[in-house]
């Protein structure tokens, strides 16, 4: 029975996209919105999570793979930079007692100096701008 179902599922999903990163984000966003509408008694808006999940299921079942791939690439182009920024911010927070973090006044890159080092002449590793900084 289980094997029959599994082979049916394999045949059913053949040529379809399945879950990609945008798919996962769609389900998480739908769930978060569902919780918010429940918490705040916004019953009228409860069709929104359903619409988002519906879109996720549509994408999963779709056979138009190039279009779904384009959507996923668009999503990744927005999401990956945010993810990188968040992980860099976590590192800065973790090391906040060891390093003083600051931005290059010219190119806005993040730089760091060991704390209590005093006044230092700094060369930005990204753009080569030189300036003095106290840490």
CB of 94 to Zn ion, least distance (A): 23
Is 28 a residue that touches Zn ion (CB under 5 A)? no
Q: Of 16 and 129, which CB lies nearer to Zn ion in the complex structure? A: 129
Q: For Zn ion, which residue of 62, 129, 133, 135 counts as binding (CB under 5 A)?
A: 129
Cα(95)–Cα(111) distance, integer angstroms:
13
Cα(88)–Cα(95) distance, integer angstroms:
11
Structure tokens at 105: 């006044």
Q: What is the size of the binding site for Zn ion (CB under 5 A)?
A: 8
CB of 62 to Zn ion, least distance (A): 44
**Stretch 59-118 residues interacting with Zn ion (CB under 5 A):** 104, 106-107, 109
- Beta-bridged to residue 133, according to DSSP, are 120
Q: Of 80 and 107, which CB lies nearer to Zn ion in the complex structure? A: 107
Q: Of 124 and 135, which CB lies nearer to Zn ion in the complex structure? A: 124
Q: Of 103 and 115, which CB lies nearer to Zn ion in the complex structure? A: 103
Cα(8)–Cα(15) distance, integer angstroms:
14
- Beta-bridged to residue 114, according to DSSP, are 99
Binding site for Zn ion (CB under 5 A): 104, 106-107, 109, 124, 126-127, 129
């Amino acid at each position: 029975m289980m094997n029959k179902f599994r082979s049916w599922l394999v045949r059913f999903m053949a040529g379809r996209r399945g879950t990609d990163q945008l798919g996962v984000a769609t389900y998480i966003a739908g769930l978060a919105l569902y919780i918010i509408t429940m918490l705040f008694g916004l019953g009228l808006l409860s069709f929104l999570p359903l619409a988002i999940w519906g879109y996720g299921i549509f994408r999963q079942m779709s056979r138009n793979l190039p279009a779904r791939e384009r959507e996923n690439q668009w999503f990744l182009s927005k999401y990956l930079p945010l993810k990188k920024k968040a992980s860099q911010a976590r590192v800065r927070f973790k090391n906040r007692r060891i390093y003083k973090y600051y931005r290059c006044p010219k190119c806005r890159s993040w730089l760091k100096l060991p704390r209590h080092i005093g006044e230092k002449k700094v060369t930005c590793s990204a753009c080569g701008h030189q300036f003095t900084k106290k840490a």
